[in-house]
Amino acid sequence: MIENRKEEHIRIAEQKEVTSSHNYWDDITLVHRAIPEVDFDEIKTSVAFLGRKLNYPLIISSMTGGTELAKKINRNLAAAAEKFGIGMGLGSMRAAVEKKELEDTFSVINDFKVPMKIANIGAPQLLKQGKPAFTNKQIDEVFNLIDADFLAIHFNFLQEMVQPEGDRNSKGILKRLSEVASSYPVIAKETGNGFSHKDALNLIDAGVKAIDVGGLGGTSFAAIEYYRAEKVNDREKMRSGLTFWDWGIPSPASIIE
């Protein structure tokens, strides 16, 4: 069941080492300005991003949902987003589409005054897989469930290839993305493997409002799926998880591209 998978993802991330072998942000050195020409007391941290005012240039990126544990996590994150006046995304809301009883694990964000709320569905779900593709009505339901400001569409095709129950079809995704982006303010999001320059240009042509590069250098979903495969002794998926544990474009490189 989908809620079991979401629970496994959280528990594995808590209990196992699932980060990439190198944090590429550690390779970045900020340039010192010996002559800053600013008055420190005049510095403001607030920003306008995509038409929304945030107290800090920060957004809690999409993480989880679909279980009672995820509901608790989302409640805590939403409370923090309200306190600091920053944006927040939710994890894949596929669970809310497939099981209405799981909606509150996402809609808990509505209990807080979050200045930018980002709904979230997977790019694979926009296409026919083992199940029919999401309809416009289902996308509407996800968007309206949290009165979202933006719709994140996450691109996790590598994870899907490693995942035992993964959705492997990506043919036609840019066409479908363009259709969705014509009706919703879309943020394209990777989930740990980054976007190349060419991919970013394709996303812009499809009409997305922003790109969350989500590159290599943090949590590896291939690693998480490795441990799920290990639990059921699926050696093929274990090999795939190990092979792609450190696969992707590092976040700093993806941003520069």
| Residues 6 or more apart whose Cβ sits within 8 Å of residue 197 | 257
How many whole angstroms separate alpha carbon 159 and alpha carbon 164? 10
Q: Which residue has the tokens 């479908």?
A: 176
- Torsion sign (Cα): 94, 179, 137, 147: positive
Q: What is the pTM of this model?
A: 0.96
Enter the DSSP assignment of 123.
Answer: G
Share of the chain above pLDDT 90, in %: 97
| pLDDT value for 232 | 94
At 187, the pLDDT band (50, 70, 90 cuts) reads: very high
DSSP states of 65-107 as a string? -SSHHHHHHHHHHHHHHHHHT-EEE-S-THHHHH-GGGTHHHH
Average pLDDT, the chain: 97
Tell me the average pLDDT across 97-115. Answer: 98
Structural domains of the chain, ranges and CATH numbers in brackets:
2-16+44-256 (3.20.20.70)
**CA 183 to the chain's CA centroid:** 20
Distance from C-alpha of 227 to C-alpha of 243, rounded to nearest angstrom: 13
What confidence tens digit (pLDDT) does each residue in 21-66 have?
999 999 999 999 999 999 999 999 999 999 999 999 999 999 999 9
Residue 153, pLDDT above cutoff 90: yes
Question: Over 80: is that where the pLDDT of 80 sits?
Answer: yes
What's the whole-number mean pLDDT along residues 150-161?
98
At residue 175, what are phi and psi to the nearest 5 degrees?
-65, -45
- Identify whether the C-beta of residue 140 lies closer than 8 Å to the C-beta of residue 171: no
Instruction: Tell me the pLDDT tens digit for each residue of 204-229.
Output: 999 999 999 999 999 999 999 999 99
Residue 161: which H helix or E strand, with range?
Answer: helix 157-162
Shortest CA distance to 96 belongs to which of 61, 71, 129, 124? 71
Is residue 1 pLDDT above 80, yes or no?
Answer: no
The model's confidence at residue 164, banded by pLDDT at 50, 70 and 90, is confident
Instruction: Give the integer Cα–Cα distance in Å for 221 and 51.
Output: 32
